[in-house]
Structure 1
Amino acid sequence: EVPPPPIGVPLPPGMVPPPPNLDGLSSPQRRQLSAEEKRIKLAMEVASDLDINPLRMFTPEKKMRRFHWEALDLDTKLLRDTVWEDIGQAEPIEEDVDFDRRLFESLFHERTKSSKGSRLKRDDTGDGEDNQQKKKKKRAEKKVTIELVESRRSYNVDITLSRFKLSYSEIVDAIVKMDESVLSLEGVQRIQSVFPSKEEIKLVSTYRGNPALLGHVEQFFLTMASIPGLRRRLRNFRFLLEFSQVAPKVEASLQSIITSSQSLTSGDPSEKLRFLLRVMLYCGLYLNSGTKKAFTYGFRLSSLRRFKSLRSTDRKTTLLHFIVQLVNQHHHLSLIPTESNPTPKGFFDDLQDMMKKSCRIEMGFIESEIKQISQSLSVFKVCVTEASKTNRPYPDKAKDFVKYAEERFNKISEDQATCHREFSEACQYFGEKEGAWEEFFETWFEFLSEYQRAEIDVARAIANERRMARRALEEKKRKEEKKQRRRRASEAAIRKTSTRIASSARAGRPGSNSDAPASAASKLASKLELEAFGSL
């Protein structure tokens, strides 16, 4: 048998502690040791399955404080392919970190009762007993609080209320007066999140004891329950604060849908679309000639994306690229940057931006926001009217808000009707069934994005062709210049040779026949000249 390691030294990796001696142990102690053996065995099995280092077991010299964490179960499936598996396969921490166990134990060991008693005994002046009596007296004098609310709920409410630097009565007063200088929208939302329910209000209202003994949360609930209808006032206060944020967003969304719908059916963008669809229809009919698919006067918008999918025979271009070339030639468009136009715009760039913005507006969300505004405004008006008959009427700003909100909501309702009408006309204009805004405009956005990419491809191809043509022209010019230089050099060489031969002939000996050398020189020069021109 291998003896256990000394105290304070960890067990070697892979070593299981020797079975304990069960003699003299009670039944609960035996069961505890048996359960510990099962856990050790399971830990070894998990380590073997995952090929990780076995659990490290330590025997500290002091009893350490307990850290109450939520440990993972010893389950191979739970630990596989996790960070814990990677950590288990790494080297022991001591290989990388200088871990001082004695220092760690001195910092985090559990304080024993004997150490407290020894301090009292070492106190020769008798202050230890006096301190003990003082603590008992303080505990007796400590204020007893009565908590009626469930502990978890009470904890969450207390955390939220701690963020306010206001008393509970000041919070109530700010709600009643709708004072946004005291309570912001965020503050109102927090109060709403912890506002007592009907059951909680009933719970604290039926308390017949001393209210001063109640806890903070119970006192807050009691304060909130002291004003009838405070929950509705708080909800109306939130609506008042949110209206200035929600209304502009709804109005902007409706205007975006109206503008996009009108752009598809009228104006310059619509004219461009009509021309494009005409070209596309022509190409489609031409391709489908001789088939039943050629007997049509148009196509569904869902077919727009198919123009990009149809590739040419040589697989070098698509039908959409071809159509883009036709459109550019007709409108004399080019996306190639120039000095006068360094950032040229595409044929549908403005329309694409509108479609991109509109396809992100969800029809259902806008409709629900408008409905929520209508309902909240109606409730607000009723509450203001009813409260005016009581001793706690709404402030004057609430009445002014009702008038302002009604006028603005009427404008939103008009925009909503216009939006539906324009969108319906746009769908009918293209022969489509009316559906959700985002789906309709997303179809256009995707197609116009493909069209823009095709424009860029065509512009790059044209720029590349121009660059190749320019290079070919420069190459031809360079070769011509080289040929001219060679011709001039040959002519100069011929002239120089002829001059040298003629000079030699004239410098002949005295008394010799001068006509013979001259004739020979002339023949030689003619021969050299013919050879030179022949080489050219």
Structure 2
Amino acid sequence: MVWDKIRSSSFEFDEEMIESLFGYNLQSTTKNDEAKSKTPSPSKHVLDPKRLQNITILSKAINATAEQVCEALMRGDGLCLQQLEALAKMVPTKEEEAKLFGYKGDINELGSAEKFVRVVLSMPFAFQRVEAMLYRETFEDEVVHLRNSFSMLEEACKELRSSRLFLKLLEAVLKTGNRMNVGTIRGGAKAFKLDALLKLYDVKGTDGKTNLLHFVVQEIIRSEGIRVSDSIMGKINQKNKTKTVEEREEDYRRMGLDLVSGLSTELYNVKKTATN
């Protein structure tokens, strides 16, 4: 830091010039500053400093006194959405509530934020009233949001049920799992729970790099490549007859990858639903 290197006498401004240019009165300002410094500031705090800071910010956003808030809560009207959301974030824990009510000193000695919460808490079911008013205020928007969400979910389900590639994925995972569990009680399964798809990534191969998800996708790509190659359009391409095994495998991979990479577009609503 550099502040300890600054000397108080190293710079002095022209007081007459600053007063004539900006109407700055050093003497009156000094008196005001002295008056302000004599004003006692609340020093009693019972809440955690970080929590107290958050409540202070929220109380300023409410822009209303605790008495005005209590009156509005009593009527069940008079607070806007932003005020209700700020109040909902101020809900004290049982421990904080006990600290505020357990304070034996003068309530006016508490900080403004703590005093605000303490006064609001004096009303029965104050924050339950806040939740009810907030629910009422956001009800219509929530209904619209839920309707849109259910509509999107319904479309996503239709996409999954009609997607040939998704069914291929389920088949590949089922057969791979049965092959890995052959000879055990889990072998020969006819189905599996969908949350098993989320666990494919966690099953690592012996190389430490490839996981079960990689393997399944690569096998689907190869299978789809062979299917496309055996189709009428694939058979028209007579060049395959002169290609080596490695070249044909590369063709299978390329054609299969082109097809499988379109799954994200095919399952548009599924992807959209998953991110909401």
TM-score (norm. length: structure 2)? 0.48
TM-score (norm. length: structure 1)? 0.28
Larger Rg: 1
Larger RCO: 1 or 2 (CA < 8 Å, sep 6+): 2
